Amino acid sequence: MQRMQQLDMIRGLAVLALLLMNIFAFAFPPDYAHSLRWSEVSPSATDTLLYNLQTLFIKGRFITLFSILFGVGLYLIAEKYGADYLKRRLYWLLLLGGIHGWLIWFGDILLWYALTGLFVLKRGYFQLAAAELWRKAIRFFCIGMIFPILISLMYLFSAVARDVELANTELIAQQIAIWTGPYLPQVIENLKLSALMALAFVLGILWYTVALMLLGIALYKTHWFELGYSTKQTALLFCGSLLLSCTVVWLDSLSHYMLTLNGILPWAYIAEVMMALSFASLLIKFRHSPWLQQWLAPCGRLALTLYLSQTLVMVLLFRVIKPEWFATLDRLQLLSIAIIMIGAQLLFSQLYTRYFQQGPVEWLWRRLSKRPEPYQTPEANSHQ
């Protein structure tokens, strides 16, 4: 099975651009990681502009791409090596996600991806035809939207729910002391946050992520990754997403950015999927670009290594090397740090893949999973 360059390019874009959102979760206390107004200090005009631009073009777009590509990756592994090998891969990813999320950074996605992948594998969804995958993806998406809809209605009809308390100087100092202080309290906080994430996973994240993974498999089975959408369809998806996101920005501004509506409103999720697909379609259109093949594709092959290295570098930076930066830098400064890190990862991937085909973490993951010979169906064996 020949490796598709466009899958690597899309994955490369996704893992690099994830940092444009995750940088705030590295540099702020967890409860305020993605909020514009979280302290008694009013946000600047620059911070507000950047926050709105993130809602329009970045928020959720690249984690959506990552989820879609993860589903494709699971399907390809199962097709080539069989379900037993894929199950071992997911069990090791489960362990890696636990270590990453509990011991290093609360924002881990690997643990939840592994659990979602095991759910998809257990339910036998890889064998479904594309039409059935589409139906199930839509169904799971609707289930995943139940919780955001309930929260939105609560904000609409309950004044108490809209009464958000801003962090005062004392609370901020306590959070800074936890996340830049001794290691053990940070682990305890990570475990508490992981328990809350487990609840959120059951209520919404699982179903939404399953929907995205099944969408990815359906798109692959219909050969969408070979051609993408037409130019007109790609533009319509992008503009439709932008229009939906503009309403989110407008409502956010009406609430004085107190409610972080870009992570709650159901149509914000629809906008994320639409724009993510338009980005992927655009990359597919330019899949023969030597520049994209040279720079983005290597990042896609090293996606797991890059994702984990982002955590290690950023955690060390904000908690050990420069703890005075934690919860003090503005959005422009943080985005500048993220862009520098993205540039460093582009260079690293370019140099590393000149000598190695797999990233170090990818190599270890495959080695631990004891990869077998390529799996062949009974029909293929009968023709040999």
382 compared with 179, residue with greater pLDDT: 179
For 357, residues 6+ apart whose C-beta sits below 8 A from its C-beta are: 301
- Residue 380's pLDDT band (cuts 50, 70, 90): very low
Question: Residue 373: its pLDDT value, please?
Answer: 60
Question: Which residue carries 């399907």 as its tokens?
Answer: 75
What pLDDT does 370 receive? 85
Which pLDDT does position 335 carry in this prediction? 98
pLDDT at 379: 45
Burial environment of residue 111 by CB neighbours within 10 A (0 to 12, 13 to 18, 19 or more): buried
pLDDT in tens, 154-184: 988 888 778 788 888 899 999 999 999 999 9
| 97, 200, 228, 297, 369 from 288: Cα distances, Å | 34, 40, 13, 11, 33
What pLDDT digit, counting tens, does each position of 306-321 carry?
A: 999 999 999 999 999 9
Q: Which pLDDT tens digit goes with each residue over 198-227? A: 999 999 999 999 999 999 999 999 999 999
120 Cα distance to chain centroid: 18
| C-beta separation of 69 from 61 below 8 A | no
- CB contact set of 172 (below 8 Å; sequence gap of 6+): 29, 39, 327
Confirm if 63 and 75 have CB atoms less than 8 A apart: no
Mean pLDDT of 243-272: 95
Q: Between the CA of residue 151 and those of 200, 265, 318, what are the distances in Å?
A: 12, 8, 32
- Per-residue pLDDT tens over the stretch 231-250: 999 999 999 999 999 999 99
Amino acid letter, 17: A
**What confidence tier does 58 reach under pLDDT thresholds 50, 70, 90?**
very high
Contact between residue 115 and residue 94 where contact means Cβ atoms under 8 Å apart: yes
Task: Tell which wins on pLDDT, 169 or 139.
Answer: 139
CA 41-42-45 angle, 5° bins? 140
Average pLDDT score, the chain: 94
- The string of pLDDT tens digits covering residues 17-48 is 999 999 999 999 998 999 999 888 889 999 99
**pLDDT at 9 exceeding the cut of 50:** yes
pLDDT at 382: 41
Q: What is the pLDDT of residues 312-364, one digit of tens each?
A: 999 999 999 999 999 999 999 999 999 999 999 999 999 999 999 999 999 99
Percent of the chain with pLDDT over 70: 96
